[in-house]
Amino acid sequence: MTYIPKPKLHHPDLPKNKLGFTHRDYEGSVSTLCAGCGHDSISAAIIQACFELDLPPHRIAKMSGIGCSSKTPDYFLGNSHGFNSVHGRMPSVLTGANLANKDLIYLGVSGDGDSASIGFGQFAHSIRRGVNMVYIVENNGVYGLTKGQFSATSDKGSKSKYGALNSDSAIDMVAMALQLGATYVARGFSGDKEQLVPLIKAAINHHGAAFIDCLSPCVAFNNHIGSTKSFDYVREHNESVNKLDMMVDHDPIVADYAPGTMELVTQHDGSVLRLRKLAPHYDPNDRIAAMSYLGERAAQGEIVTGLLYVDPQGEDLHDYCNTIDKPLNELGTADLVPGQAALDKLNEDLR
Amino acid sequence: MEPTNIAAPEYFHKVVDCQWACPAHTPVPEYIRLIAAGRYTDAYMVNWKSNVFPGILGRTCDRPCEPACRRGRVEKEPVAICRLKRVAADNKQDIHNRLPVIPAQKNGKKIALIGAGPASLTVARDLAPLGYEIVMFDGDPKPGGMMRSQIPRFRLPEAVTDEECGYILDMGIETRFGTRINSLKQLLSEGFDAIFVGSGAPRGRELELPGRKEAGANIHIGIDWLSSVSFGHIDKIGKRVIVLGGGNTAMDCCRTSRRLGGESVKVIVRSGFEEMKASPWEKDDAMHEDIPILNMLVPTEFLHKNGKLTGVSFEKVKAVYDAKGKRSLVPTGEPNEIHECDDVLVAVGQENAFPWIERDIGMQFDRWDMPVVDETTFQSTIPTVFFGGDAAFGPKNIIWAVAHGQQAAISIDMFCQGEDVKKRPPPDVAIISQKMGIHEWSYDNDISNDLRYRVPHQEKALALADVRLEVELGFDKKIGYAEAERCLNCDVQTVFAPNLCIECDACVDICPMDCITFTPNAPEDELRLELKAPAKNRTQDIYVSSELKTGRIMAKDEDVCLHCGLCAERCPTGAWDMQKFLLDLTLAGPACHSK
Ligand SMILES: Cc1cc2nc3c(=O)[nH]c(=O)nc-3n(C[C@H](O)[C@H](O)[C@H](O)COP(=O)(O)OP(=O)(O)OC[C@H]3O[C@@H](n4cnc5c(N)ncnc54)[C@H](O)[C@@H]3O)c2cc1C
Ligand SMILES: Cc1ncc(C[n+]2csc(CCOP(=O)(O)OP(=O)(O)O)c2C)c(N)n1
Ligand code: SF4
Ligand code: SF4
Ligand code: SF4
Ligand SMILES: [Mg+2]
């Protein structure tokens, strides 16, 4: 936590994006989290991703629940919309907002406590309904805000800062998201922005429910020996299956790569994902294979990261509900109250 | 890149851009913080120790520190370092009890100083407290050299010169003012243990053009004319004046003319406006006093009628660049431009002159007829004779004269104590953590967004009516505080401990200037381009750590760091710390002696 506001001055040679903004224009107010918190790095990655995608900040809505992680939307995109809901209720608030105005980009920001405990049901249903959103869980294995109790993603057998052993089984949020039908699933690490920023960018461009589980060490309560969510542990056990570049324009050039080591995925909106395979046999288009591979590696104590699954032609809640193109919040009284004649006709049809 | 050796004093010294650029290495941010704290007397004494004439320099310094100031690279303009010095001088209390005590018991060594300008005065200040007996000669009746004789009173009131020369003369200096030295040979035979030549560069360059002799009564050499004004021998000039030359002397000539009856005063220079030697602020001040600066005009002839000057004829030129980008001025071919006038002031340069140094006493002169002087020791080829100030390497300015004086004093002291003058004493350095609490530092790390404040000026009509009325009024305490707060405290260094870093990226994320990058090591040229923001300013160093746990290194571009300490506040492990680096130049005295 810092008391002075971040100075307004910036590097004279900062690049500007197509809107004429620098990355500093995507910042929020200064973070109040502990110094070194992984969550702050994720905020920085979101800032970088939105900057690189040339997104107009006022077209983004940030939604969150309760927790250190859920506080972070205050610390990025200071000119975007935001809603800080009660604990675990972000998914339903986001779903409602999305139904009302499908034109905004929805960023759901949550924690492992917020999403894997109190909000587990909400998380599950927003994913299985295919809400068009980016759902990021900033996963530190503890309830950071309430001083470090084990959360539901904490591995069985891992040790708390004060020596207690966790006896409960862990929930793997990536496995859950795959199971529940998310059409974009990734895992990242706050300490590796080179990997994380493209994952966030591709998730934003994805049509459908995009889920990112991001390991994010809690420096205050879960960065000790015996933790499986510490900087050192994650670095030692990080098995990245691929390296993602996102190209917004079509660019068929795949020079210099041996056959089978590069894969191009064209998403619904035309954006092209270029995946450089690090684990040669890993296929991010095969949901079932992904689930079994992840399970195998997890049993070995490895943490698989990268773009784990993508269905480029994903569909969303609005597709399923067959809503009109125009966002519902833009409909005027004439559309919403069509009058007695229309009602009569409808009633007639139902007889 | 190799890991940076932060133990070498030059490394952090260079980060303090202003102090590095200051010839006397004044610890600028240290005194600026004292001003902000209202400790004007302390701020004055920090300056007095480093540059001897804070009140004078706070009004007149050439301020090489300001173009170097980091603030000028992160926003529009540098900190008004020079004018803050004046705030300290204007608001200080009596300093007599803080001045060095002069020993009653002398050390038996007697030193002659030729000239009473800033160079000699500095030597006197540094040597008198050590017990040296000092005899100071000057042809003029009062001390100060060109600070008194040349710099117009409306820029530097005489009282300030009197005060600051007084502190030194009161150290028991024996003065022989009104005594010009006409023979060095003679002086060498008078038994001094060492002689310091601080006689300046007293001769104004001539402009030999047709008509020079015939119209001579109304053509004046700038520096001679200015001293005549300073000493009250001249108090008026014609209504139409042309000043030839584009340096600071020209600016003083034209502004003085405006105050002595010149109504239409023009400065005319041969090259372009941008290439003029005068400092930008002096040009601004001149133009503010309704003095046009005309450029690309080469004077060819002084016009006269019946033995009286009527004007100057100028050939029009333009700049052309050859393939190598070298510029030359060539005539445009247009007819000459005639500017009518009543008086001309010639300010086209200044030269050294040593007619009083015999050429048969063993002193070596170079091919420009300048004495051969060692650039670090200031010793001439006669071991007992030292030079400094404008006399050493040609005309410079006051702060260089002071810096020379300090080094010459060290040499004289070492020489008189039987030491090798080539073994220069290292500077005194200290580095101290500024951490007081989790978010508390013993300096104000909050960065001010204020733009540079303008120094208030005397009302123009009043200023132009009196050649002795000071134009600049100086900052008051309130603006002085606000301007002081613009300083970035570049001496509070970011110090990195690689063994503590867990590579969490917190410092990278918070840094407002994108200074910090964790990256694989590479040769400097590549590394500079791979940083979060490209490090294009090659004059500023990259601070590189040893290898970290992930095999990467920490690389910090010093160029635009605000010294805001946010990296250190955000670091969970204390791998960054903010540490004040204080460098004090060692002056003459026991610290220079090996025994
Ligand atoms: C018009 C003008 C304006 C200037 N404005 C500025 C300014 O704003 N800021 C700045 O920093 N610098 C300025 N300068 C330059 C500055 O004044 C000099 O660089 C500085 O004074 C040099 O100091 P010094 O000690 O070497 O010699 P000087 O100041 O020149 O002093 C030399 C002294 O030696 C005496 N002397 C010379 N020969 C003998 C002898 N044989 N016997 C006895 N005495 C002798 C002279 O009478 C003189 O008093 C200006 C110069 C001029 C001409
Ligand atoms: C309804 C409700 N129950 C419990 C709490 C207490 N509480 C606040 S934050 C939190 C856990 C947050 O954990 P997580 O989502 O992992 O966030 P972190 O702080 O670790 O980022 C809990 C249980 C609450 N605020 N509201
Ligand atoms: S900001 Fe302050 S410390 Fe830094 S160079 Fe300028 S005056 Fe010196
Ligand atoms: S002090 Fe630290 S945070 Fe502040 S600008 Fe410098 S490197 Fe960046
Ligand atoms: S904040 Fe500290 S521990 Fe984290 S990367 Fe920076 S120096 Fe290393
Ligand atoms: Mg948590």
Provide the CATH number for the domain around residue B65.
Answer: 1.10.1060.10
B506 CB within 6 A, ligand 5: yes
Separation of CA A220 and ligand 5 centre (Å): 14
DSSP 8-state symbol, A304: E
Indicate the pTM of the whole model. 0.92
Compute, in degrees rounded to 10, the torsion defined by CA atoms A202, A204, A209, A213: 70
* Cross-strand bridge partners of residue A240: A305
DSSP of B100-166, one letter per residue? PPPPSS--S-EEEEE--SHHHHHHHHHHGGGT-EEEEEESSSSS-THHHHTS-TTTS-HHHHHHHHH
Contacts of A10 in chain B (CB under 8 A): 512-514
Q: Is residue B257 part of a domain?
A: yes
B270 plus B322 within the same structural domain = yes
Count how many domains chain B has: 3
Domain that holds residue B165: 101-202+352-416
B190 plus B274 within the same structural domain = no
CB under 8 Å to B520, separation ≥6 — which residues? B551, B552, B553
Q: Where are the domains of chain A?
A: 23-330
B28 CB within 6 A, ligand 3: yes
Looking at B441, B465, B484, the residue that finishes a domain is B484
CATH number, domain with residue B412: 3.50.50.60
B208 plus B344 within the same structural domain = yes
Q: For residue B468, how far is the Cα from the chain centroid? A: 24
Q: According to the model, what pLDDT value does residue A251 have? A: 54
Question: Which of B348, B244, B344 minimizes the C-alpha distance to B299?
Answer: B244
B561 CB within 6 A, ligand 3: no
Atom of ligand 1 nearest to the CA of B145: 49
What is the rounded average pLDDT of the residues A250-269? 67
Phi, psi of A241 (to 5 degrees): -85, -20
Q: According to the model, what pLDDT value does residue A262 have? A: 78
Q: According to the model, what pLDDT value does residue A277 have? A: 83
Atom of ligand 2 nearest to the CA of A145: 19
Q: Quick one: closest CA in B to A15, which residue?
A: B533
pLDDT, tens only, B246-271: 999 999 999 999 999 999 999 999 98
When CB atoms are compared, the residue of B508, B513, B549 closest to A11 is B513
Q: What is the residue type of A62?
A: K
Q: Which of A61-65, A244-248, B119-123 has the lowest mean pLDDT?
A: A244-248
B140 CB within 6 A, ligand 1: yes
Residues in chain B with pLDDT < 70?
595
B359 plus B326 within the same structural domain = no
Query: Chain A neighbours among B 483-522 (CB < 8 Å)?
Result: 502-506, 508-510, 512-515
Q: According to the model, what pLDDT value does residue A60 have? A: 98
**How far is B27 from B22, CA to CA, in rounded Å?**
9
* Residue of A1, A3, A4, A34 to mutate for B, most B C-beta atoms under 10 A: A4
Name the fold adopted by A23-330: Rossmann fold (3.40.50)
B393 plus B338 within the same structural domain = no
Chain A residues with CB-CB distance to B under 8 A? 1-14, 24, 31, 34-38, 40-41, 43-44, 190-191, 193, 217, 219, 223, 231-232, 235
Q: Quick one: closest CA in B to A75, which residue?
A: B510
Nearest residue by C-alpha to atom 2 in ligand 3: B487
Looking at B291, B325, B349, the residue that finishes a domain is B349
Q: Is residue B243 part of a domain?
A: yes
Question: Which of B225, B144, B128 minimizes the C-alpha distance to B398?
Answer: B144
B209 plus B311 within the same structural domain = yes
Q: Please give, rounded to a whole number of angstroms, the shortest distance from the CA of B72 to a CA of chain A.
A: 11
B211 plus B320 within the same structural domain = yes
Looking at B300, B316, B349, the residue that finishes a domain is B349
Q: According to the model, what pLDDT value does residue A270 have? A: 82
Strand A133-139 to strand A209-215: parallel, antiparallel, or no bridges (unpaired)? parallel
Q: Is residue B71 part of a domain?
A: yes
Q: What is the residue type of B517?
A: T
B344 plus B356 within the same structural domain = no
pLDDT, tens only, A187-222: 999 999 999 999 999 999 999 999 999 999 999 999
**CB-CB neighbours of B377 under 10 Å:** 21
Helix runs in A137-223, H state only? 173-180, 193-205
**How far is B9 from B581, CA to CA, in rounded Å?**
9
Q: According to the model, what pLDDT value does residue A274 have? A: 85
Query: Do B129 and B173 form a contact (C-beta atoms < 8 A)?
Result: no
Confidence band (pLDDT; 50, 70, 90) for A257?
low
What is the rounded average pLDDT of the residues A21-39? 95
